[in-house]
Amino acid sequence: MKQEKLSLHDVLIRPIITEKALILREQRKYVFEVNPLANKNLVKEAVEKLFNVKVEKVNILNMKPKPKRRGIFEGKTRSWKKAVVTLKEGYTIKELEGEH
Amino acid sequence: MEVKELERDKNRVVLEYVFGAEEIAQAEDKAVRYLNQRVEIPGFRKGRIPKNVLKMKLGEEFQEYTLDFLMDLIPDTLKDRKLILSPIVTERELKDVTARVVVEVHEEPEVRIGDISKIEVEKVDEEKVLEKYVERRIEDLRESHALLEPKEGPAEAGDLVRVNMEVYNEEGKKLTSREYEYVISEDEDRPFVKDLVGKKKGDVVEIEREYEGKKYTYKLEVEEVYKRTLPEIGDELAKSVNNEFETLEQLKESLKKEGKEIYDVEMKESMREQLLEKLPEIVEIEISDRTLEILVNEAINRLKREGRYEQIVSSYESEEKFREELKERILDDIKRDRVIEVLAQEKGISVNDEELEKEAEELAPFWGISPDRAKSLVKARQDLREELRWAILKRKVLDLLLQEVKVKVVEPKGEGDDSEGKEDN
Interchain proximity B43–A98, CB inside 8 Å = no
Residue A28 lies in a domain: yes
pLDDT tens, position by position, A8-42: 899 999 999 899 998 999 999 999 999 999 999 99
Q: Is residue A1 a part of any domain in this protein?
A: no
B398, B347 contact by CB (below 8 A) = no
Q: Which helix (H) or strand (E) holds B362?
A: helix B353-367
The CATH number assigned to the domain holding B151 equals: 3.10.50.30
- Of all residues in chain A, the one with the smallest CA distance to B51 is A98
How many angstroms separate the CA of residue B2 from the nearest CA in chain A? 26
* Residue at A18 is within a domain: yes
Query: Residue B60: closest CA among chain A residues belongs to which residue?
Result: A100
Distance CA A45, CA A50 (A): 8
Which residues of chain A are within 8 Å of residue B43 when distances are taken between CB atoms? Answer: 16-21
Q: Are residues B260 and B402 in the same domain?
A: yes
| pLDDT for the residue B243 | 82
Whole-number pLDDT of residue B168: 92
Verify that B103 and B168 share a domain, yes or no.
Answer: no
Residue B84's domain comprises 1-107
* Contact with chain B for residue A100, Cβ under 8 A: yes
Residues B33 and B83 in one domain: yes
Q: How many domains does chain B have?
A: 3
Closest approach of A33 to chain B, Cα-based (Å): 14
Which pLDDT belongs to residue B52?
Answer: 87
Whether B158 and B224 share a structural domain: yes
pLDDT, position A98: 58
Q: In Å, what is the CA distance from B183 to each residue of B220, B222, B397?
A: 15, 13, 48
User: Is the domain of B387 the same as that of B250?
Assistant: yes
> Maximum distance among all alpha carbons in chain A?
52
Report pLDDT for A3: 54
Domain that holds residue A54: 8-97
> pLDDT (tens digit, 0 to 9) for every residue of chain B, 425 residues total?
899 999 999 999 999 999 999 999 999 999 999 999 998 888 899 889 999 889 888 888 999 999 999 999 999 999 999 999 999 999 999 987 889 999 999 999 999 999 999 999 999 999 999 999 999 999 999 988 888 999 888 999 989 999 999 999 888 899 999 999 999 988 888 888 888 999 999 999 998 888 888 889 999 999 999 999 988 888 888 888 888 888 999 999 999 999 999 999 999 999 999 999 999 999 999 999 999 999 999 999 999 999 999 999 999 989 999 999 999 999 999 999 999 999 999 999 999 999 999 999 999 999 999 999 999 999 999 999 999 999 999 999 999 999 999 999 999 876 444 444 444 44
Q: Is A14 on the interface with B (CB under 8 A)?
A: no
The predicted pLDDT at position B191 comes to: 84
Give me the CATH number covering residue A16: 3.30.70.330
Q: Does B345 lie in the same domain as B292?
A: yes
> Within B104-147, where are the H helices?
126-144
Q: Do B45 and A100 touch (CB under 8 A)?
A: no
B50/A100 CB distance under 8 A? no
B166 and B289 assigned to the same domain: no
Listed by number, the residues of chain A in 59-98 with a beta carbon closer than 8 Å to a beta carbon of chain B are 97-98
DSSP string for B214-260: EEEEEEEEEEEEEEEEPPPSSHHHHHHH-TT--SHHHHHHHHHHHHH
Q: Is residue B93 in a domain? A: yes
Question: Half-sphere exposure of residue B51, counting CA atoms within 13 Å on the CB side?
Answer: 15
- Residues, chain A, total? 100
**B20 and B97, same domain (yes or no):** yes
Kindly state whether residues B54 and B202 are assigned to the same domain: no
Q: Which residues contact B139 (CB under 8 A, 6 or more apart)?
A: none
Q: Does some domain include residue A3?
A: no
- Whether B292 is covered by a domain: the verdict is yes
Q: How does strand B406-410 pair with strand B120-124? A: parallel
Residues B215 and B280 in one domain: no
**Chain B residue closest to A17 (CA)?**
B43
**B137 belongs to a structural domain:** no
ipTM over 0.90: no
What residues of chain A lie within 8 A of the CB of B49, using their CB? Answer: 19
**Assigned domain for B116 exists:** no
B401 within a domain of the structure (yes/no): yes
Are residues B43 and B74 located together in one domain of the fold?
yes
What one-letter code names the amino acid at B180? Answer: Y
The answer to whether residue B141 is domain-embedded is no
**B286: CATH:** 1.10.3120.10
Domain final position from B200, B228, B256: B228
Q: How far apart are CA A65 and CA A80, in angstroms?
A: 8
Say what the pLDDT of residue B423 is: 47
Q: Is residue A2 part of a domain?
A: no
Q: Is the dihedral of CA A98, A77, A23, A34 positive or negative?
A: negative
CATH number at residue B54: 3.30.70.1050
Residue of A nearest to B62 (CA): A100
DSSP secondary structure string for all residues of B283-340: EEEE--HHHHHHHHHHHHHHHHHTT-HHHHHHTSS-HHHHHHHHHHHHHHHHHHHHHH
- Choose among A17, A99, A100: nearest Cβ to B43: A17
Domain final residue, candidates B228, B257, B281 = B228
Do residues B296 and B369 both lie within one domain? yes
Domain count across chain A:
1
* pLDDT for position B190: 86
